[in-house]
Amino acid sequence: MGLRLDLLLLAAALLFSPALSDLVILKVDRRVDLTSQIVRVTSTLKVENNGKDAVTEVLLVFPDRQVKNLAYLFAVSSAGKGKAKSYSHTLSVNEINLKGMPPSLVGYLVSLPEPLGKGESYTLDVLAVYTHSLKPFPEKITQADIQLLVFEDSAYYLSPYEVKAQSLTVKLPQARIESYTRIENTKLHGSDIKYGPYENLPPFSHSPIVVHFESNRPFAVARELVREVEISHWGNVQVTEYYNVVNRGSEITGEFSRLEFQARPHIRGPSSFRNLVAKLPPRTHSVYYRDEIGNISTSHLWSDSKKTELEIEPRYPMFGGWRTAFTIGYGLPLQDFLFESEGKRFLNFSFGSPINEIIVDTLFMKIVLPEGSNDITVTAPFPIKESRETKLSHLDLVGRPVIILEKSNVVPEHNQYFQVYYTFSGISMLREPLMLIFGFFFLFITYILYMHADISISKSSPSYLAKMQWEEVQAVIQQVENIVSRCLAVHEKLEASLQDLSRTGVVQACKSVRKSADSTLKELYKEMKPLLSFLQSSSQAAHILPKVEELVTKERELQEKLMTKHLTVVDCYEKKLGGREIENRINAHQQKITVLRQEVDDLLDYIDEL
């Protein structure tokens, strides 16, 4: 009721404009295509000027609820019917805010190629493309359920002018229809619903209709698509596309059974889609398809001289509400897309997504130009938001200019060519090769200088002398450690002779071992004396000398205790004392020997670490 009242107010306001009120629409043929998720409404209008003054514009009006989903609006002059119909002029369409326009309506003015005189008629076709206009009902279904959609519109063409005759045809994807609004002159022919003809309808006539029908077509929506086109003047255009796709159809509830889906995919998953098809330019090469996990092998590529088709199959079937993210990359020959005109180079590339019948909520088109590009301008067939940034890549000095083109609500009709003009000096192409040449040149020169230069430390410098003195100290300490190790080996022979004595009882052999050991130890101490003197006289050994002297002292104490133990045991055997008496006499010596051995081992480990 509120919408009807707004329409009446608009009609009253427009009566003050003779240019609008003098037009009459002789005939309107509307065709609504619901065979995919994108709603396309084609209206053929034949208008006539019944006023005295010439008319140059035709006003189109749409409800604001439809304009929210209006992605593309196009008008063209036409002549003929059916296959014989021809199109001559593309007409300019601009949104307008008329005085007295209710907020529930939005107006667009179509500019005619030449003034329309009194009694003259003109035929034009208007294409309106809508996204997110089909609503799933029910909104949630199970894996095996079919998908049902609801479409709402008016059986009468909404116009500020009187309409003499009109008709509407709604084309559905298949003949299965749950329900549809039946009014006067309504007919169902297979998958087509026809309303009309209706004659002599006043301005802003409105008759709501609702169609509830089955459609299992893919509802693929890219919530965000980033297309990066990088130009190399060395002969290649590299395209990388980052997709974030969701199925906006009826959401699946309950558990998903892959076994049932694999066995009967058309019965146990009719509302899902398993693949998407991207139509790429001819002579596409180096194609890849991957996601965050890695390369996806379930894809197929067909190419010929006219086109290249890439069939993309995600890792899992896409049911309603399910999402996936993937990347497509491919290369193109530069000569097919880069041209020169009036001293400027320009890229001629297509906007939109190459995937069939996909809706893109937000599209970012990034054009990466070579470093050194200047005087950049963009020409596009429809309004877009433009911004700039810089990208650093290999061998770049200041970075490559990047033009970012942003547009929301993108449909296949936006797959039109746009141009990026820029200037680029041919000498700039030599920048990177020259950088490589000079880079290798300086690398080789540096290598030659390195090989022929004497970069060793001077033998007279304090640091060199200190280094050499420390190396001498280290060598002397190593010799001291070796002597101590040899002394410890002699100690082990003394212990072994006592074990032999306890086994054989031969005292004379044990005395011979002690005599030999005593002689050997005296010789070793003679070797150690000059080494200790050197360490005591060297300033580099000041921090380690106390530990070395402590090591020598502990070893001598250990030697004395061992000799005392040895003499005691031999004496006991000569006196033929019992084993318990021998243990009692040497017990105190053995405890001290054990402690001294541990201390000597600890000191050796400490000196090794230094």
Structure tokens at 130: 């809508």
Residue 159 amino acid letter: S
Q: Where are the alpha helices (DSSP H) in 453-544?
A: 462-504, 507-537
> 355-384 as b/e, with b when 16 or more CB fall inside 10 Å?
bebbbbbebbbbbbbbbbbeebebebeeeb
Averaged confidence pLDDT in the chain: 85
pLDDT value of position 80: 64
Whether residue 576 has pLDDT greater than 50: yes
Bridge partners for 86 per DSSP = 79
Q: Where are the alpha helices (DSSP H) in 168-296?
A: 258-263
Whether residue 8 has pLDDT greater than 50: no
How far, in Å, CA of 474 to CA of 236, rounded? 65
Rg of the chain (C-alpha set): 48
How far, in Å, CA of 473 to CA of 526, rounded? 19
472-490 confidence digits (pLDDT tens): 888 888 888 888 888 888 8
Whether residue 18 has pLDDT greater than 90: no
> 315-350 as b/e, with b when 16 or more CB fall inside 10 Å?
eebbbbebebebebebbbeeeebbeeeeeebbbebb
| Strand 70-79 with 86-96, pairing | antiparallel
Whether residue 339 has pLDDT greater than 80: yes
Whether residue 57 has pLDDT greater than 60: yes
Structure tokens at 367: 């054009």
58-100 confidence digits (pLDDT tens): 999 999 899 999 999 999 988 766 555 666 788 999 998 877 7
* C-beta neighbour count of 535 within 10 angstroms: 20
367-401 confidence digits (pLDDT tens): 999 888 889 999 999 999 999 998 877 766 777 89
pTM value is: 0.69
